[in-house]
């Protein structure tokens, strides 16, 4: 039985959630809080397995309430509930420790799936926001600009992979159908760009970046 605390300042939404959850024999709603501070107090008193947290809460917002609840009891799981699909809200909820993020337009079946997932130690994001999360992640990588796929050219990545796989300069030249001197130039460029001076370190880097596997 999953013991659930509802934290939402909209009474109609909270009552609707309670009604739907209690129709599932595996869920039990043990309390309701209408502001963030009350959610923190209720979580401390009731020790629920799960808190369904509206992030737009009065008195104390859902992000901070989530952080305080998990600080007091790391075993509690939190699913953030929001009308927002903006990546900033999603990132803030996940940084605060929420294991899941659902938009309020989600069907109840998705909420049930999210509960089951987070109670197994997994993370869960609404299907409707997956595209936003992926695009934000790609933008973050591009902004970070330190990975092999942003620092090295396609040909340099091929040389890096070949080096990591243990091929000699001559073998790499044959594989890529270029001269030995060209391979040496590429290897020098790779080492300069990555500030790595040994093949052993290049191999570790290539594995870490997903250029090659063990």
Contact 81, 52 (CB under 8 A): yes
Query: How far, in Å, CA of 183 to CA of 181, rounded?
Result: 5
Q: Are residues 155 and 120 in the same domain?
A: no
Question: With the CA atoms of 49, 43, 57 and 33 taken in that order, what torsion angle do they form, in degrees rounded to the nearest 10?
Answer: 100
Q: What is the rounded average pLDDT of the residues 80-98?
A: 88
pLDDT for 124: 92
pLDDT for 211: 83
Q: Are residues 113 and 27 in the same domain?
A: yes
Per-residue 3-state assignment (H helix, E strand, C coil) for 97-110: CCCEEEECCCCHHH
Reported pTM: 0.67
- pLDDT class of 209 with cuts at 50, 70, 90: confident
The residue with tokens 């963030």 is 36
Residue 214 pLDDT more than 70?
no
The CATH number given to whatever domain includes residue 155 is 1.10.10.10
Structure tokens at 156: 């340099």
76 is a domain residue = yes
110 is a domain residue = yes
Contact 27, 115 (CB under 8 A): yes
- pLDDT class of 133 with cuts at 50, 70, 90: low
pLDDT for 144: 55
Whose CA is closest to 76, among 97, 55, 60?
97
Give the residue numbers spanning the domain of 134.
Answer: 2-139
For residue range 38-74, what is the model confidence (pLDDT) as tens digits? 999 999 999 999 999 999 888 999 999 999 999 999 9
101 is a domain residue = yes
pLDDT for 146: 56
pLDDT for 52: 97
pLDDT for 170: 94
Q: What is the rounded average pLDDT of the residues 120-141?
A: 76
Burial class for 176, CB neighbours closer than 10 Å (0-12, 13-18, 19+): middle
Please give the radius of gyration of the chain, using alpha carbons only, rounded to the nearest integer.
25
Q: Are residues 122 and 182 in the same domain?
A: no
> Chain-wide mean pLDDT for the chain?
88
Domain boundary among 139, 168, 186: 139
Q: Are residues 116 and 178 in the same domain?
A: no
Query: How far, in Å, CA of 96 to CA of 165, rounded?
Result: 41
Q: Are residues 130 and 152 in the same domain?
A: no
């Amino acid at each position: 039985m999953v013991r659930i605390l509802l934290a939402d300042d909209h009474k109609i939404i909270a009552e609707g959630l309670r009604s739907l959850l209690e129709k599932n024999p595996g869920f039990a709603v043990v309390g309701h809080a209408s502001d963030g501070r009350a959610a923190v107090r209720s979580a401390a008193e009731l020790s629920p397995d799960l808190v369904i947290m509206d992030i737009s809460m009065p008195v104390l917002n859902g992000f901070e309430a989530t952080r305080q609840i998990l600080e007091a009891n790391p075993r509690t799981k939190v699913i953030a509930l929001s009308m927002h699909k903006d990546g900033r809200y999603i990132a803030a909820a996940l940084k605060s420790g929420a294991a899941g993020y659902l938009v309020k337009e989600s069907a109840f079946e998705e909420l049930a799936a999210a509960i089951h997932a987070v109670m197994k130690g997994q993370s869960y994001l609404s299907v409707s926001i997956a595209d936003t999360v992926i695009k934000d992640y790609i933008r973050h990588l591009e902004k970070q600009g330190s990975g092999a796929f942003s620092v090295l050219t396609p040909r340099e990545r091929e040389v890096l992979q070949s080096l990591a796989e243990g091929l000699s300069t001559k073998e790499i030249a044959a594989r890529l159908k270029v001269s030995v001197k060209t391979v040496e130039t590429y290897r020098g460029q790779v080492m300069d760009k990555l500030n790595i001076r040994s093949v052993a370190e290049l191999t570790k880097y290539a594995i870490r970046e997903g250029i090659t596997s063990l």
